[in-house]
Chains A and B, each alone.
Chain A
């Protein structure tokens, strides 16, 4: 069923990682990405791998899922590895025509692959353990200061959350329209690409018409419920920094800080 698609691949849970304040998680993920680019030697990578493994362990998310998350970017990883392997000049240990492999190439390729994989694992841990609504909420509050320079932060996050609210509704509607058109003899499965693309028109047109009608009704309903944009609004759920959050921040600061320091010595 189309309806069961998970958006942003969120796996609900109650672990400490899940309970962290979304703002803390977003900031720490960004810090992690920066650290990955500053890490230089094997010791740094061992520390980072250990740190990520601990996070995955605490979150209770199966390592299989983490590996599966790497699949879509496998091509990019291999491509980077091959380029680095064959095109890094230095102390050649193997040569054939214009292809050559150097000691430096092996080293750079290896760390590049490792860095990319860790990068993807770190960011997917954020989306695996944070619901989309929490993510939007966290982003809105993190970017809150930008409101002072009239950036439409609230409006953007409102749009995001309405989109999230309506994705399942619209998917359900698409399924209904597909069935209705099939019942009238529409054929979506045969023919070449152009014919199949044309067959989508009778699905898209009613879907768009209904989406606009829904948007109009929703806007009226929101006005009736006193929505005036970001004027004098309060929130029911206040994000609060709890003890878990403080712990997470301190541990991360120590780990990431030491990696960056080690990086300066090339370790």
Chain B
């Protein structure tokens, strides 16, 4: 009798990171089934500059991602570009040890990925994400007034949008349910 070969179901697990002045927001998405596995903001005290890397290392060890996605530094504005470059530089060691690639996407690429869903601004993109992942609805910030700085909760939506952009760029079909 010929014994067929079987193998376990495997999925692409995306870790999207949005660097912040003192930490980072992250989102972990799985492609099959399409679901948001974890999300949050890791902040570190000013006195511990290496705390951010330790937190990133913890997230990577826990979720064993197949790819790390972040924003492209070249297309960002000056201060943001410096922060993104610093993040990528300091995270390189951890990423090399983890043997997975880094993918970067510009804000324009994110807008293009969400354009078919009718979302162009960050808030519209966040609304689309909250609609797809109801667990994030409570974190959805109210519309920002012109004199206000961006709500800190928006960074999680930025991380999720990066992960979805990566899936869209990889040609994955983004299911609307489950």
Whether chain B is bound by chain A comes out as no
